[in-house]
Amino acid sequence: MNEIQEERIRQNISAAFYRHGLLCASYPVPIILFTSASILTCCYPLLKLPLPGTGPVEFTTGVRDYSTPSHESQGDLSERPDWYRGPPVAYIQQVLVKAAVSPWDNSLVPVDVFRSPLGRVFSVLEEIRNHVYTDRSLEALCLQVTDLLPGLRRMQAVLPEHGCLLVSPGNYWQNRRDLFDADPDLLKTVHQHEPKGLHTSATLKDLLFGVPGKQTGVNLYSKKRVVTYTITIALSSYDARFVASLRARLKQLHPSANCTLREDHMVHVHFKEEIGIAELIPLVTTYIILFAYIYFSTRKIDMVKSKWGLALAAVVTVLSSLLMSVGLCTLFGLTPTLNGGEIFPYLVVVIGLENVLVLTKSVVSTPVDLEVKLRIAQGLSNESWSIMKNMATELCIILIGYFTFVPAIQEFCLFAVVGLVSDFFLQMFFFTTVLSIDIRRMELADLNRRLPAEAGMPPPKPGPLRPRETPPPPRPSPHTITLQAPAFRNLRLPKRLRVVYFLARTRLAQRIIMVGTVIWIGILVYTDPAGLRTFLAAQVSEQSPLGEAGLPPHLGVAPVFPGGDPTSTLSGLPAPEPTPLPENQSQGHRAAHPEVAPVSSPQITWGPEDEELWRRLSFRHWPSLFSYYNITLAKRYISILPVIPVTLHLSPQEAIDTRHPQDTHHAPPPSIKTSDLQTDLTLYKVAALGLFAGVVLVLLLFCLYRVLCPRNYGQNGVPHGRRRRGDLPCDEYGYSPPISEISPLLLRGHSMDIECLASDGMLLASCCLVGHIRVWDAQTGDCLTVIPNNGLRRSSSSGCWEHRDGWDHISACEAESLLGADFREPGGGAVGGQDVDIFPIRRRTTPARPALFGDQPDLTPLIDTNFGLSPPSQALSSSGFDFGGLVEKAYQEHEPSPTLAFPPSPPPVLPPELPPQNNGDWDSSVWAMELRGNLIATGRSSGKLELWDAVEGSLRCSNEDGVSGITALAFLNNRIVAARLNGSLDFFTVEITKPLGLLQYRGPPGRGSLPPSPCYSSEDVISCQLTRSVQCAHQKPITVLKAAAGRVVTGSQDHTVRVYRLEDSCCLFTLQGHSGGITAIYIDQTMVLASGGQDGTICVWDVLTGSRVSHVYGHRGDVTSLVCTTSCIISSGLDDLICIWDRSTGIKLYSIQQEVGCGASLGVISESLLVTGGQGCVSFWDLNYGDLLQTVYLGQSSEGQSVRQLLVLDNAAIVCDFGSELSLVYVPSVLEKLD
Amino acid sequence: MPRLEEHCWSCSCSASVKTQELSSARWVVCKTAEMMSIITSVLSHAYGSLHSLQSANLIRRGLVLFIVGVVLALVLNLLQIQRNVTLFPEEVLDTLFSSAWWIPLCCGTAAAVVGLLYPCLDQHLGEPHKFKREWASVTRCIAVFVGINHASAKLDFANNVQLSLTLAALSLGLWWTFDRSRSGFGLGLTTAFLATLIAQLLVYNGIYQYTSPDFLYVRSWLPCIFFSGGVTVGNIGRQLAIGSTEKPHND
């Protein structure tokens, strides 16, 4: 019963999902709008949450009615921030001292500017320490500190320990006047604690002086000659009367004239929690893991139109579900207490992207021919059960977590539950809809792609790669091999390259640098606003002429500043009020100079900017001061009391009295210019550092560039260095591999399409439709021998006309031909060869085209034998002269002519077989050809086997034992195997009777470890004996015959493969396994046998035991070609796919989708280099990674000509049968480039 | 301050540890050596036929695992140390790198051994691990592992029993979510047991101490951490082994 119920639930769920999928796919836009609206609604409560940030927050209260806030929050004061509860960590009372030696005297040395003013700090300190107000002393009120942190030994002498936290410049000299007086170099003492280099946090100088370093005036080149410093007292409890009395006392002792600093506001500064490096590292690690997770998850999204778009949608789904979760929790009154940044990665990981991926995969794997709506619905309903199950499991786990009763875990679980639910919601509505849109787009794209090529859908690609003499023609050729995205997605690129490509594609480095710079600037401005601003302001004021007036950084507006206390701002000019004179300053002396030396005499002014001088300090000033004593200000606040101003005027005499003997040894004050330079030193330092960093960066990038970019561009070794990278099909990342120029060598001479090709490494024999056999040197491409069809009858000038008659005859016969087999043209029996090319033809000479091709342009006027006068655009290069350009031009001129539709070439599918005509053996056509040593074996349609001498072109022997046409030949050692049309298999032995009795061996061995082919000299008598004939080898015609390693393998239409032993012609195995005729067989020296059939299957057999090793369905349609390497099997099929299989496991590694109608020819040059034939071109592939290395175009007139046969020679040359021409392509550079 | 907590997790089989605890832990040394010899024999047996082919692969995997172990040890160590001493990051880093330089190395070695042992054991038992074999799952597993450590370091629990139970449940959940194999469970348990034992011995010999030990000399949640660490590293090791033997891009 339970099962039935479960089944019912399952069905219900899947039905519901089905309907939902239909809904989503039907109304994508309204649903997306609805989802966005709900996301925004749920996120709305987030606006109330404070923005994260670590900057301090301020709150100002009045001093007068101040009372320590209670711990309980009081609802009545709404403007009170949450943190303003309980007592502060400390009350900060600053005594701001401004001191100057006045009037300035030319007899004074620069050190006097600050020596005596600084010296007065000790007396002020003494005053403060000893101040008592109704039995309350500073000792009782101040913040008592204990040890410094253990890591700060070097600061022990400077910062107070075990007592009041009271810092002043006097701390440099342990608050002892005698030490100060004995100090020969005050500046050195002050600066010895400064850290080297740039820093953003508070330095010791800032801490002790309590004002930004720039404003202290403690340097030799100060223009204002006013020394400013503060005495900072940290009070643990606030006693208003004590502070007031201290203020009054100090003011009375050191009155500040015209000082109207406001004293009624107390500022509370709240510090947020700081994140140190130690906390940052784990945080960063979790985020790195998170990103790795997202990367690995979204990488699996496949088979969609826009992978990135869907990945983005998946991430958006998860993130917005988290935001919704937080928003909903806030809405219902739960305030998040956990650190959001810390738990965020865990939440994402818990919620996960799995469902999204499962959905995508399920939808994508539905049948493609369904409607989009149905696909979505079906995909959803397929996965509905597992999605629901996963969801329930996760909810259960989280609920268990909820019952741990640990508050933090409970909160986490709450967020996770809400997040999971909202994630489910978003998956169902948002992601599904996005997916449906994407799939619809993909189908549209598919539709577009399936339109015929004439519709102009393929983007025009520039012309093919040509020999470099040819000027680049702009003619687009639509037949380049283009890769489709899904095929490439399956390819394995090396990790290293992938990373580099990724970086290059996204310009990640630049963006990171840019973002980093912006963030850095932001941090600078944010963390140290005062410092930076003052610095800038100081720069501006110093450079402006107004700065000379001695006005502190008010920028240019200071003189006309109409603010609250104009007297204080404008008070620079009149002398300070003399009313309460400083102790030992004579009135007369002061009065003597008041207006005389205003230019040089320092003036002490008080302005509103002095009220809150601490604002100019780094915001880390207070936290770092307290942190020295292991007191953290994180999440706590301090209260800063209004500053107490103290003005000190010192007489020159006093300054002279306090001089240290060494002070006068200092250099006289340098000129203003150098002082400017000195003040600007920081700026220059920064600039120099930036410059240095820039140079280093440039060098680094340059090195990277040199390392990563191959020797491709930036190299001027090639005279015609215009390599058109755009010509190459780019890979997914927009990068095409480096090109090395490969120019095909065209072997011209045949007048008809080439039918048979054979090679033994040194020689190359080709046979065309009319039965001419040409022998070429495989190394140089020279034509060595021409064996005309009849061998005896050489041509006459009228041959070509007869030839054309032959054509006409054929086309007439075409109609009545009923047999569909693609066999050869038997006609042209009376046709002689061409008149001109009997002798070997060099590539250099243009073959005269027979008049047969009357519809082609006449190229004869283009032949210019005066090579010296050739135009520079077609300059000769070392490899020879090419008429490609001229020919091209002629073709272009010719093409528009409307009279003759240009037949691209004789069609690849040839006139079908005609019933054998009774015009003797010469009239039969060559159906099969093999070349070993010097001997060419040809099998004719009449069933005759002939042996020709390849060099001399003479017939050495022939055998006419068989009647049925020879469809395939194998020539191994001295045996020839011939397969006939009637399914019989004949074994011949070639016997050589050498008059000299010696066999000479010639040349390198053939491919693999074949025994070297014996060389037959012309004196030898060669006979060919039929040793055995297997009459009914197969029930149906034999289609494939291959021989290697002492075995002969035949494949036939009757679905079987047979293996024979070569020596005794004994049939070893009959291999059954295909359900269609055999179309391709591969066997090599290592006894690997693979076969492919019309059913699209590929079988791998063990030749020793006859057992089937593996069996895969590879193609839709026939397998057209099969090649093996030691590790993989490469197959191509009628479905235009090239599949690469793992040889041992039979697993498909990847597949390459080719253009429709591409040739099915394959060849393997080395273990990792694959060559395929296409429409007028051959492509080289890296087998390891599936990269397209290069496409070589075979010629200009390549349209519609597909490469049908591909032969890989020893010297890594490819011979392709390319219409009536042969192409020889050497691939040396590609080989050396491979890893 | 839990300064030195967690300083000795998964320090099994490290040479530097062995040299430091001379007399009293001699039998551990013997045992470790024995284990190592067993491991090497198993490894050599398993890869005997394919030795030349696979040794480079093995070294590569071991190196990756070692690096992962070192990084995880540093980060998690920092997680344990960081509370209350964030004010002087330089100092923290100093102590981290000076006093305990050998800990990451030990952890790296242990990670390499465990991570190599997992796929080897799978192969030996003849039950290859097929459950959730993909990098996304592995990353998720690592994230959960870091999360468990995070929880052990930062959460305030009512008492240690609750903490230990929670972490034990989390570790089991980790195993169930990402592994679900008997061999994984057994090896995780073995790892946890051995590592805790070694931690105990280390603390007993005074090399380390815990601020508030509640389980003999160490913290009671230590075995849970070791268990989940073992499972995580095993997960990585298996994925590496798969990634290196068969190509990941099968259609």
What digits encode the pLDDT tens for the residues A653-674? 888 887 777 766 655 544 444 4
Closest approach of chain A CAs to the CA of B92, in angstroms? Answer: 7
Separation in Å, CA of A1125 to nearest CA in chain B: 17
Check residue B85 and give its pLDDT. 34
Note the pLDDT tens digit of each residue in A259-308: 777 777 888 888 776 656 666 777 888 888 888 888 888 887 777 778 88
Q: Are A863 and A846 within 8 A, CB to CB?
A: yes
Among chain A residues, the shortest Cα distance to B144 is held by A346
For A420, A426, A832, A886, the CA distances from A871, given in Å and listed in that order, are 75, 69, 39, 11
Q: Strand pairing partners for A1099?
A: A1091, A1111
Q: What pLDDT is stored for residue A217 in this prediction? A: 77
SS3 state at A173: helix
Would the CB atoms of A492 and B89 count as touching at under 8 Å?
Answer: no
Nearest Cα residue to A1197 out of A1213, A1220, A1181, A1216 = A1220
pLDDT greater than 70 at residue A321 = yes
- Say whether A281 and B78 touch across the interface (CB within 8 A): yes
| Of the candidates B1, B11, B33, the residue with the CA atom closest to the CA atom of residue B203 | B11
How far apart are alpha carbons A860 and A854 in whole angstroms? 13
What is the average per-residue pLDDT within A320-345? 77
Residue contact B251–A1150, C-beta within 8 A? yes
Distances (CA, A) of A1050 to A606, A678, A1114: 108, 94, 21
Q: What is the Cα–Cα distance from A1157 to A731, expressed in whole angstroms?
A: 21
Among the ranges given (A598-602, A764-768, A806-810), the one the predictor scored with the smallest mean pLDDT: A806-810
For A703-747, write each residue's pLDDT tens digit.
887 766 544 443 333 333 333 333 344 333 333 444 445 667 777
Please check the confidence at residue A422 and state whether its pLDDT lies above 50: yes
With beta carbons under 8 A apart, name residues in chain B contacting A341: none
pLDDT of residue A633: 78
Close Cβ partners of A1069 (under 8 Å, ≥ 6 residues apart)? A1058, A1059, A1103, A1106
User: B112 and B42 in contact (C-beta within 8 Å)?
Assistant: no
Residue A1062 exposure: Cα atoms within 13 Å on the Cβ side:
19
Q: Does the structure show a pLDDT above 90 at A828?
A: no
Checking if the pLDDT of A1074 tops 60, the result is yes
**3-state SS of A36-92?**
HHHHHHHHHHHHHCCCCCCCCEEEEEECCCCCCCCCCCCCCCCCCCCCCCCCCCCEE
Q: State the best of A293, A339, A488 to mutate against chain B, taking most chain B CBs within 10 Å.
A: A293
| Least confident piece of the model among A132-136, A766-770, A868-872, B220-224 | A868-872
- SS3 per residue for A1033-1080: CCCCCEEEEEEECCEEEEEECCCEEEEEECCCCCEEEEEECCCCCEEE
Q: How far is CA A1134 from CA A364, A432, A564, A1095, A1155, in A?
A: 25, 36, 92, 11, 11
Partner-chain residue, chosen from A274, A349, A397, that has the shortest CB–CB distance to B143: A349
Residues on chain A touching B144 (C-beta within 8 angstroms):
346, 349
Distance, CA of B87 to CA of A150 (rounded, Å): 12
Chain B residues near residue A151 by CB distance under 8 angstroms = 88, 90-91
Q: Cα–Cα distance between A191 and A194 in angstroms, integer?
A: 5
Mean pLDDT across chain A, nearest whole number?
A: 69
pLDDT in tens, A1116-1141: 778 888 888 877 888 888 877 888 88
pLDDT at A879 (0 to 100): 42
> What's the confidence (pLDDT) of residue B233?
92
Max Cα-Cα span within chain A: 146
Mutate to test the interface with B, among A285, A357, A491, A1151 (most CBs of B within 10 A): A285
User: Which of A847, A748, A851, A856 lies closest to A800, judged by CA?
Assistant: A851
Partner residue facing A404 (CB), from B89, B146, B166: B166
pLDDT of residue A497: 65
Closest residue in B to A292 (Cα) is: B139
Higher pLDDT residue, A360 or A921?
A: A360
Q: Cα separation of A640 and A94, whole Å?
A: 8
Nearest CA in chain A to B157: A406
Residues of B within 8 A of A153 (CB-CB) are: none
Query: Which are the contacts of A460, defined by CB distance < 8 A and separation ≥ 6?
Result: A476, A478
pLDDT > 80? residue B49: no
For A991-1041, the pLDDT digits (tens) are: 776 654 444 444 444 443 444 444 555 556 777 777 777 777 777 778 888
Backbone angles phi, psi at A320, to 5 degrees: -70, -25
Q: What is the ipTM of this complex?
A: 0.74
Which residues from chain B sit within 8 angstroms of residue A409, using beta carbons? 151, 155, 166
Compare CB distances from B155 to A397, A400, A408 and report the shortest one's residue: A408
Task: Read off the pLDDT of residues A928-962 as tens digits, 9 standing for 90 and up.
Answer: 888 777 778 888 777 788 888 777 777 777 777 77
**Highest mean pLDDT (candidates A368-377, A463-472, B59-68, B129-138):** B59-68
Of the two residues A1086 and B180, the one the predictor is more confident about is: B180
Interface of B with A (CB under 8 A): 71, 74-76, 78-79, 81-82, 85-93, 134-136, 138-140, 142-144, 146-147, 150-151, 154-158, 162, 166, 169, 173, 246-251
Q: Which of A264-278, A634-648, A748-762 has the highest mean pLDDT?
A: A634-648
Tens-place pLDDT, residues B207-221 = 766 666 677 677 778
User: Are residues A151 and B92, on separate chains, in Cβ contact within 8 Å?
Assistant: no
Q: Which of A147-161, A410-424, A949-963, A1064-1078 ranks highest by mean pLDDT? A: A410-424
> Residues of B with CB below 8 A from A293's CB?
136, 139-140, 143
CB contact under 8 A, A282 and B150: yes
Q: pLDDT digits over A2-52, tens only?
A: 778 888 888 888 889 888 888 888 888 899 999 999 988 888 877 766 655
Q: Tell me the pLDDT tens digit for each residue of A585-634.
A: 444 444 334 443 444 566 777 777 777 777 777 777 787 788 788 787 77
The pLDDT confidence band at residue A754, using thresholds 50, 70 and 90, is: confident
C-alpha to C-alpha distance for A332 and A335, rounded to whole angstroms: 9
- Shortest Cα–Cα distance, B23 to chain A (Å): 35
Verify whether the Cβ–Cβ distance B140 to A293 is below 8 Å: yes
Residue A327, phi then psi, degrees to nearest 5: -60, -45
Q: Is A650 exposed, middle or buried (0-12, 13-18, 19+ CB in 10 A)?
A: buried
Average pLDDT over residues A1050-1066: 83
Enter the tokens of residue A1212: 């890594």
Q: How do residues B89-100 score in pLDDT, each as one tens digit?
A: 445 555 555 556
Closest CA to B239 of B152, B131, B159, B160: B131
User: A764 to each of A647, A774, A782, A1154, how far by Cα in Å?
Assistant: 107, 8, 10, 29
Q: Tell me the nearest-neighbour CA distance from B211 into chain A, angstroms.
A: 19
Partner-chain contact B134 A293, CB within 8 Å:
no
Q: Which of A149, A273, A279, A337 to mutate to test the interface with B (most CBs of B within 10 A)?
A: A279
Measured CA angle at A521 (ends A517, A526), to 5 deg: 145
- Overall average pLDDT of the A893-917 stretch: 41
Say what the pLDDT of residue B93 is.
Answer: 53
Tokens found for residue A867: 């090579």
Provide the β-strand partners of residue A1224.
Answer: A745, A1215
Quote the CA–CA distance of A291 and A277 in Å, as a whole number.
20
Residue contact A406–B157, C-beta within 8 A? yes
Confidence of residue B244 (pLDDT cuts 50, 70, 90): low
Place of tokens 């912006």: A518
Contacts of A625 in chain B (CB under 8 A): none
**Are the C-beta atoms of residues A969 and A977 closer than 8 Å to each other?**
yes
Contact between B78 and A491 using a beta-carbon 8 Å cutoff? no
d(CA A462, CA B206): 76
Closest chain A residue to the Cα of B73, Cα to Cα = A282
**Residue A536 reports pLDDT greater than 90:** no
- Residues of chain B neighbouring A490 (CB-CB closer than 8 A): 249, 251
CB pairs under 8 A between A and B: 119
Q: Does the distance separating the beta carbons of A490 and B251 come in below 8 Å?
A: yes
> pTM of the full predicted structure?
0.45
Q: Does A627 contact B90 at a Cβ distance shorter than 8 Å?
A: no
Distance in angstroms (rounded) separating the CA atoms of residues A806 and A812: 10
**Residue A1203 to residue A474: CA distance in whole angstroms:** 23
Average pLDDT of the segment spanning A349-368: 81
pLDDT higher than threshold 60 for residue A482: no
Contact B136 A277 (CB under 8 A): no
- Shortest distance, CA B39 to any CA of chain A (angstroms): 30
Contact A630 B87 (CB under 8 A): yes
Per-residue pLDDT, B229: 92
Mean pLDDT value of segment A914-924: 46
Chain B residue with Cα closest to A390: B177
User: Which segments within A544-652 are labelled E, that is strand?
Assistant: 637-640, 644-650
Helix axes A277-298, A307-331, angle to 10 degrees: 130
